[in-house]
Structure 1
Amino acid sequence: MTLNPAVDLATSVEHVIAGPKLYCRPPSIDPGGGGVNVARAICKLGGRAKALVAVGGASGDRLLQLLAAETVPAHTVPVSGETRESFAVTDEGTGEQYRFSLPGQTLTAQDGDRLIAEIASAVSQDGYVVLSGGVAPGLGDAFPERILAAMSPRTDRLIVDTSKAALARLIAQPSVPVYILRQDQREAELSAGHALKTVADSIAFAETLIDRGVARIIVSGRDSEGSILVTKDARYICRTPHMAVVSKIGAGDAFVGALTLSLSRGATLDVALQWGVAAASATMGTEGTGLCDRPVVEALLAHCHVEQV
């Protein structure tokens, strides 16, 4: 599910400097937004996924055309306003990437009700449901809770990777635990209210979230160190293989996609974590808004070492 999708553009210039007009290279253009990228990653890895997207206007039509070009099935939910764009510019001299995300337009209460109805109808029995990306303005910070309630007659496997106020509410006021909550290092530290300097710090914070009923499984990135996965009874860390980083766009989404696909195929949690890290690493080796390729992910698996902590 992508509540605030985007058409993603990525380009580069010789140097990013203030003042003069900067002449960019021809851009790569891809469908974007958290859930969209999760679905794209699953399909690229040989799985089956449907991208439920809230789209509007000419930009929304373009996003759907881009999804169709990648043969990613879409469940379209028309909403008011225009689908947003985001863009990234790489400085060719330094290799640094500058990422710009435009705000989505405010959705109405009717848009929210329509989304909930479509989500309830689209969920499969005992299926895996992913909410990835930000909650569109106007839907309210409690919208993930509405999703959880709407899908509960058919499944309780909601995987959440969101941010800002919606994430803060989910952590501060848990109602029913989500199946998996994923955070990156920065999000986890903001949620904790202090730095998480060590793996042990991240695990301890994850344990508090589980004890408070936020989620049954917590997955948290630790940048170049890898990612941890914590349940009530198990703690794992998967180390990130050493490789050159070309672009970080979509890496977290590829992680969630590969993790979810692996779980849906019956993998154990440690193996699913390994697939997630491999997919994220493969994505960071691609340019712009490109995502992981299956042969690269499979080759990286052997270099993604999982340890029980």
Structure 2
Amino acid sequence: MILTVTPNPALDVTYRVSELEVGESHRVDAPVTRAGGKGVNVARVVTQTGGHALVLATAGGATGSRFAADLLASGLPHELVPVAAETRTSIAIVDEADASTTMLNEAGRPLTVEEWEHLGEAADRLSIPAQCLVASGSLPTDAPEGFYASLVAVARDRGIPSIIDTSGPGLVLAARAGAHVLKPNRRELAETTGESDPLDGAAQLIGLGAGLVFVSLGEKGMLALSASDPSRPLRARLDSPLRGNATGAGDAAVAAIASCLVEGERDPAAMLSRAVAWSAAAVLAPLAGELAPGFAELERRLVLSPA
């Protein structure tokens, strides 16, 4: 089982327009609304591909009730920590004319010290049957910077790998705690490390203590750097770019990496290949947390090379 921890979940609301005209009114169909957040998306992809995942997240207020109801309706195994703060909402506007997506992400509201303690205790308890721990996404306002690092320690104590997908101080502290895998995108890595070259940024995280770093490069694919062989960075990409909704593509990559680890796969090249293929399949899917049919075939279109 893959345990996904999402401290800052959201109720995802997705609108589709034939063409987005900034500053103009648009008549739209009713949006698709469902439980979201990076860890929830990871769990959805794991489940779609035949794996087992458990969602651990917070939920509060009326939005949190709708979030919980959707998790229940979707059949995703989950445990929710009740919080006083209203669960945030994220709005995606998909422009069908150019296949672009505009995101409006609310900041998460602060949690109390006791609520953080309850979330950490739940992660510790649920990690006992887990084979991999995934912690994903931004942290709410005024969150303890070391929260993700504490989850790395939980995973290490259980003897299971940890995957952290975040940015800023939380990413640095997770690296220093010895996270098995870190998965920032290029922009997050540059903002966190100050390095414009993603390979230099990944090397910085490896130097701090991370075991593997995967960096999403958008249409240019993904690179991987391993602490066990830092002189041989790898890059994988599709033979041609895809058009679609990139929301959730990074979460699909994390799901791919987690599934490899659960299966006992430790080869960075194999993990990278699956991550890029699943990420590409997510771009072709209409909603975050889904893969388009035929995702396995995409792996045969990959170009794998030294970075």
- Please confirm whether the aligned pair reaches a TM-score higher than 0.5, indicating the same fold: yes
Q: Distance in 2 between matches of 1:245 and 1:223?
A: 11
1:290 is displaced (CA, Å) by 5.3
Q: Match for residue 229 of structure 1?
A: 224
What is the TM-score normalised by the length of structure 2? 0.89
1:7 is displaced (CA, Å) by 1.1
SS of structure 1 residue aligned to 2:180: strand
1:81 is displaced (CA, Å) by 1.3
1:285 is displaced (CA, Å) by 0.8
Q: CA 1:303–1:137 in structure 2 vs 1: closer, same or farther (change >3 Å)?
A: same
SS of structure 2 residue aligned to 1:220: strand
Aligned match for 2:202, one of 206, 209, 221:
206
Q: Distance in 1 between matches of 2:239 and 2:95?
A: 25
Q: Match for residue 199 of structure 1?
A: none
Q: Match for residue 27 of structure 1?
A: 31
Q: Distance in 2 between matches of 1:207 and 1:178?
A: 14
1:288 is displaced (CA, Å) by 3.9
Q: Answer whether contact 2:40 2:289 (CA < 8 A) is retained.
A: no
Q: Match for residue 242 of structure 2?
A: 244
Q: Answer whether contact 1:108 1:138 (CA < 8 A) is retained.
A: no
Aligned length: 299
What is the TM-score normalised by the length of structure 1? 0.89
SS of structure 2 residue aligned to 1:183: coil
1:36 is displaced (CA, Å) by 0.6
Q: For structure 2, which runs of at least 5 residues remain unmatched after alignment?
A: none
Q: Distance in 2 between matches of 1:244 and 1:101?
A: 24
Q: Match for residue 212 of structure 2?
A: 217
Q: Answer whether contact 2:222 2:236 (CA < 8 A) is retained.
A: yes
Q: Distance in 2 between matches of 1:263 and 1:286?
A: 24
Q: Match for residue 254 of structure 1?
A: 252
Q: Distance in 1 between matches of 2:98 and 2:130?
A: 47
Q: Distance in 2 between matches of 1:57 and 1:158?
A: 30
Q: Distance in 2 between matches of 1:224 and 1:18?
A: 25
Q: Distance in 1 between matches of 2:122 and 2:240?
A: 42
Q: Distance in 1 between matches of 2:19 and 2:304?
A: 39
Give a deviation string over 1:92-148, Cα, whole Å, max 9, x none.
444332111012221100110101111110003672100011112232212112223
Q: For structure 1, which runs of at least 5 residues remain unmatched after alignment?
A: 197-201
AA matched with 2:302: C
RMSD: 2.1
Give a deviation string over 1:173-217, Cα, whole Å, max 9, x none.
x2x211111111111222332422xxxxx334322321232x111
Q: CA 1:19–1:205 in structure 2 vs 1: closer, same or farther (change >3 Å)?
A: closer
Q: Match for residue 301 of structure 2?
A: 303
AA matched with 2:273: Q
Q: Answer whether contact 2:39 2:137 (CA < 8 A) is retained.
A: yes
User: Which deviates more, 131-140 or 101-110?
Assistant: 131-140
Q: CA 1:33–1:236 in structure 2 vs 1: closer, same or farther (change >3 Å)?
A: same
Q: Match for residue 187 of structure 2?
A: 186
Give a deviation string over 1:218-257, Cα, whole Å, max 9, x none.
1112222211111123332212342432101110001100
User: Which deviates more, 279-288 or 183-192?
Assistant: 183-192
AA matched with 2:212: I
SS of structure 1 residue aligned to 2:305: strand
AA matched with 2:259: L
Q: Distance in 2 between matches of 1:239 and 1:94?
A: 22
Percent identity (aligned): 27
